Structure 1
Amino acid sequence: MVNELALDNQLCFALYAASRAMTATYRPMLDELGLTYPQYLVMLTLWERDGRGVREIGDALDLDSGTLSPLLKRMEALGIIERRRQSDDERRVLIHLTEPGRDLRESARDIPRHLASCAAMPPDELLALRSTLKELTNALRAVPTEGSTT
C-alpha cells in the first residue's frame, strides 16, 4: 500500500527540492555576475526585449509589483537598469538596460548550457520536462482558488 502522505511521494516536494537544487546550481555563476536569481530573471526578460513596462515584467515572471518594485530599485542602484517614466503617460514606467546591463548578457551567455550539462539529462528530455512543467503550471493556475468567483 502506498503511503499517500509520505514526503517522498509528494509531487510538490519533488518540485520544491528541484527548484532549490536548480537555484543553488545557478548561485556561483550568478555571484560572478553580481546578480541574484530573481535579478537574473529580470535581466533575461530585458535581454529578450529592452524597454519593458513594470507590469509586463511582473506578468512574465509571475511577480506582483510589491515584490518587483524593490527588486528593480536594487538593480537600478547596481547601475544595470534604469527606470524611465513614459513621456506620454507619466504613470507608466519602462525599464531599460544600461550599458553595463547590456554587457552582462555576454558574461551570462554560457549559463544555460552549463545548467543543462549539470542536469545530466539528454537535451530532448530537458525540453520535454520544461514543456510538462509549463503544462502543469497552466493547469494549476486554471484551478479556482478558495474564495474566487470563477
Structure 2
Amino acid sequence: MTTPATDWLRLDQQICFSLNAASRAFGGVYRVVLKDLGLTYPQYLVLLVLWEHGELPVKRLGEHLRLDSGTLSPLLKRLEAAGLVRRERSARDERSVEVRLTPEGAALRERAAEVPRRIAAATGLDVTEVQDLRDRLERLTAALDAYGTDPAPAPS
C-alpha cells in the first residue's frame, strides 16, 4: 500500500522527529548513568575520544566529535576545572592548543567501563541489533553529509 503524499507531512512520518526523540531519550538515560561519574554526556564524549586517542589538538578533538571550537572550548574549560583534562599551547605550533588527560581523567576510564553495558541494556536491543542500528546511522549520516555538499534532486 502506498502512502498518499499528504500523509508524509504527518509528524509520525518524519524520520528527523524519530531520531530527535530517540536522541532525547538517550540523553535522559545518559544523565542517570553518568551521574555517579559527575559527567555530562558531552563531557563523556570528550573523555571517550581522549581515552581512545590520547593527547590531541582541540581542532582534531572537535573533528572526532563533530563540534566546533565555540562549543568545545567551554566544555573543555569545565573538564579542566574538574581536574580531568589539561589544555596547553602546543610547543610546535603556538596557535594550537593540545588537550590531554590528567591522571584523574585517565583513572576515570575504569569507572566508566560500565557505562556502555548499562546503555546497551537500556535500549532493549541485542548486540547484533545495536551494531546494525549503528551501521545504518553511520550510513545515514554519511548520506546526509554528502547531501549537504551536493544536494540531489527530490525523489518523485
Q: TM-score range by the shorter chain?
A: over 0.9
What residue is the counterpart of 2:141 in the other structure? 137
Match of 2:109 in 1: 105
Equivalent residue for 2:118? Answer: 114
Partner of 1:93: 97
The answer to whether the aligner puts 1:6 opposite 2:18 as a matched pair is: no
Deviation at 1:145, TM superposition (A): 5.7
Q: Give the TM-score, by structure 2 length.
A: 0.89
Shift of 1:144: 3.3
Structure 1: segments with no counterpart, 5+ residues:
none
* CA distance in structure 1 between the aligned counterparts of 2:67 and 2:148, rounded to whole angstroms: 19
Report Cα offsets for 1:92-137 as digits up to 9, x if no partner: 1110000110111011001111111111111111101000000000
Once the 2 structures are TM-superposed, how far is the Cα of residue 60 of structure 1 from its aligned partner?
A: 0.6
CA-based RMSD of the aligned residues comes to 1.3
User: Which segments of structure 1 move beyond 6 Å, counting only runs of 4 or more?
Assistant: none
Alignment pair present for 1:38 and 2:42: yes
1:26-61 deviations in Å (ceiling 9; x for gaps): 111211111111000000000002111101110011
For the 8 Å contact 2:55–2:101, the answer to whether it is kept is: yes
Report the Cα distance in structure 2 between the residues aligned to 1:102 and 1:144, rounded to whole angstroms. 37
Find the structure with the greater CA-based Rg: 2
CA–CA distance in 2 between the matches of 1:120 and 1:136?
22
Q: Deviations over 1:10-37 (max 9, x none)?
A: 1000100000111111111211111111
Aligned to 2:65: 61
One of 15, 22, 28 as aligned partner of 1:18 = 22
Q: Secondary structure at the match of 2:8?
A: coil
Per the normalisation by structure 1, the TM-score is 0.93
- Residue 81 of structure 1, CA deviation: 0.2
Match of 1:84 in 2: 88
Residue type at the aligned position of 1:132? R
Could you list the runs of 5+ residues in structure 2 that have no partner in the other structure? 151-156
The answer to whether the Cα contact below 8 Å between 2:62 and 2:72 also exists between their aligned partners in 1 is yes
Q: How many residues align?
A: 146
